[in-house]
Structure 1
Amino acid sequence: MTKDEKEMWRINIQNDADQVCRLYSAEAAHGVFQRYDATCFDDLCPSYYEEVFGDLELMINDN
């Protein structure tokens, strides 16, 4: 994964996590990361970027 790709994932995931925080709560957003043994983007395994992004998007779109 290139540096630019990782930065794109970071921006998208963090934007979605912020939106989940606004719609639901910080705990809801944190719960998504916890399912993948992470507390935030920085300690999230890159192989889970797509899954975390998808989970966050589902939460946003369900609202």
Structure 2
Amino acid sequence: MPLPEGPAEPDTILKIQSSQEMKKLFRQSHPFFINKELRELTYTTKHRWYPRPQKRFAKKNPPRDREYL
């Protein structure tokens, strides 16, 4: 008699898997609650999910080398 198959182990470290219900839930939520859910799912801080203003205001061209220094 073969052994019964157990539930398959997921490849991801998240608590839940991506599904249509979760996509629908995130689409209809306020950004604060989306941020809160993402923090709880990934065990991170809230700052991870906000855009960084440094990237927007970063200087495009680095300073040139000066021979006399």
Please indicate, yes or no, whether the TM-score normalized by the shorter chain is above 0.5: no
Bigger relative contact order, structure 1 or 2, given CA contacts below 8 A and separation 6+?
Answer: 1
Q: More helix by proportion, 1 or 2?
A: 1
TM-score by length of 1: 0.28
| Higher Rg of the two aligned structures | 2
TM-score by length of 2: 0.27
